[in-house]
Structure 1
């Protein structure tokens, strides 16, 4: 377990000096903000006074304080809000809107995921803020984008997984018991949208170095999900084949799925004919590799209905770990199907320090999942645990805007900030 603390290496963070104003909530936008923060940016999370990000209430489970009592913050919130400072401000007030405009004039990047036009009523839309700060990179994340017939609709991950085709290729085959469309077990479309938004922000920062100008970034969950159909989209666009649900099987590779073992299940991920031949040796059936029905991947795909039962009859006689040891020695890609607790107990996961622990003002410490990006010269830094709601309000307004204690007190008296 890696206990992360601030270090002198902060000076070498990739995005040090970049200021990000994060008006987003839930997952896609905050995921982007967290990634920018991990890379060294100063990320200010703007939250509603008294409520905060929606995901603070999406429990159980709840973070527990040092005495073991549940707090008001759900575990969900901690997945996407590391390396941020929280500013609780009421943007429905004229004073709150004025503060956001001032902050936007100091910012390099603004993230928001309001409905299309939702911030225009406050004068906080891209057009308005880019006039005030032409160098601002204004990233809008929505369900369906800034134009088109669905632009004003609300978009949620589950909805987009269905509309964007992912659920049509996820789940048991139609001919199997329990068949039907199935969502992915993680809000994957939100996560991918956060990643695409971050790529857009980095590209816009690079472009600004050349032009001196910021720009408006339009990222939509539906667009991202369609783009992320990857080979399944290509199968349809080029091959004219409408992909169908295949359970854990692969449409283009065989064998590439789960198989039963003597004590559970394992994954075989055979990507070429040489790997298949080595598997056949380990399985005690070298004749499969020379059989014209199975000798090439093209033939195996065409004859999967014949081959897969044969493989299942072989794999069921050995326990999972025995298969993994034997197949790894033969250079055949394979692995177990781990529960989440088993993931964090895996020796490779431990070796890569994918669990980090950060100090937290209420819980003492909080465990989080590490950023997977390994940069040799400007490493990811874990500077702050996900913040308490409004934890840094005074600090941020004094830091970014230079507000005095008296000015902060007046804003609190007027219920603009908390």
Structure 2
């Protein structure tokens, strides 16, 4: 593993990836999310930005005042634990620094259009010629093949093309996108898995390799039962609102003061649900005996359940139904979701940094028995660490 440019007085990296150097040439979401996860686990991540900075620095509102500067919360959400250096790859000196960083890196992550870094000598083949141990991860929208390499890789476009939007929304309404860039996040997770897998193999071979992830492949994999319905069952899934194609009840159902999501995923859970609702006869009704029966006869079963649920509040039913061992939950706003995580002891928010530069952030979801995620640095301002990184790259490989 390669020592990184840790600044004087900076907290030492901990975690299972401590000592790993990641050159992050990515921007926006999929790549930065992947490199933040690696950084949380101890890797030293150098975020290489163009002179104008990561695009998401300008994606606002909302913003947070960080050290007197209004900073995009979108950018803050995926860039903690990194050091920023602004390099203009069209400048000879900056390009030399970028190439030297790539030569020293254990991992390089980029999401330029396929082939976009070749003109700078930063493509996989060129980097691997001087750094054969590098694990080089490329994230694109539609892959590096001739049919997809020129297509722009935005999450919303992939939500449309993959079929996700055709599944989202009311049955008689328009298709909707998901409320978050779900395939950017998924591709970032897949890239992280690919990087860690290649690093594990490197222990025995001494060589890195090129890891490629594209949003469309991540999308088709992530659509799981829906794409399986097509390729294995010759079915074209369609919008069902909040209903599930293969389960019932598995959707929001109205109570006296709002909806409660109820998910009785097997016959035993359905029987427990009916006991709580005071409908003990339903599980033995031939129309509702097994899941396939309940799914086929959902229009007959739904009003029977709703009639009982409307007699009490969603909070009261939530307490009793959960107490009976049947999964259910209220439909929360984001703030209520964070609050609920706090209530059950998940400690979802961590504060990174100190004083005016402190930034609240959502905790890394991975927990280890012997190590834990490490929150050393708040998201950097543009070129915040440029001087120390350039000095490190020109003066030698020892940590300053």
Instruction: Give the deviation of 1:401 after TM superposition.
Output: 4.2
Instruction: Give the deviation of 1:304 after TM superposition.
Output: 1.2
Gaps of 5+ in 1: 1-5, 405-418
Partner Cα distance (1:349, 1:135) in 2: 45
Q: What secondary structure does 2:302 align onto?
A: helix
| Aligned with 2:178 (options 163, 177, 184) | 184
Q: Which residue of 1 aligns with 2:134?
A: 136
More displaced, 130-139 or 235-244?
Answer: 235-244
Partner Cα distance (2:146, 2:311) in 1: 56
Partner Cα distance (1:182, 1:204) in 2: 36
Q: Does 1:380 align with 2:373?
A: yes
* TM-score, normalised by the number of residues in structure 2: 0.93
Q: Which residue of 2 aligns with 1:46?
A: 48
* Residues 229 and 326 of structure 1, relative CA distance in 2, 3 Å threshold: same
Pairs within 5 Å for 1:331-342: 331-342=325-336
Q: Does 1:284 align with 2:278?
A: yes
Q: Which residue of 1 aligns with 2:193?
A: 199
Q: Which residue of 2 aligns with 1:319?
A: 313
Q: Does 1:255 align with 2:249?
A: yes
Partner Cα distance (1:391, 1:282) in 2: 58
| Aligned with 1:24 (options 23, 26, 29) | 26
How many corresponding residue pairs? 388
Partner Cα distance (2:65, 2:29) in 1: 22
Partner Cα distance (1:403, 1:360) in 2: 31
Pairs within 5 Å for 1:6-405: 10-11=13-14, 13-49=15-51, 51-65=52-66, 71-174=69-172, 179-346=173-340, 348=342, 351-359=345-353, 363-402=356-395
Contact kept in structure 2, 1:106 and 1:400, CA below 8 Å: no
Partner Cα distance (1:212, 1:186) in 2: 38
Partner Cα distance (1:117, 1:329) in 2: 56
Partner Cα distance (1:243, 1:45) in 2: 41
Partner Cα distance (1:297, 1:401) in 2: 66
Instruction: Give the deviation of 1:399 after TM superposition.
Output: 3.4
Gaps of 5+ in 2: 1-9
Contact kept in structure 2, 1:266 and 1:320, CA below 8 Å: yes
Instruction: Give the deviation of 1:360 after TM superposition.
Output: 5.1
Instruction: Give the deviation of 1:283 after TM superposition.
Output: 1.1
Deviation per residue, 1:254-298 (Å, 9 max, x gap) = 100001111111110111101101111111211111101111101
Deviation per residue, 1:313-345 (Å, 9 max, x gap) = 221221011001111121111111110111122
Partner Cα distance (2:341, 2:116) in 1: 47
Instruction: Give the deviation of 1:400 after TM superposition.
Output: 4.5
Partner Cα distance (2:11, 2:96) in 1: 35
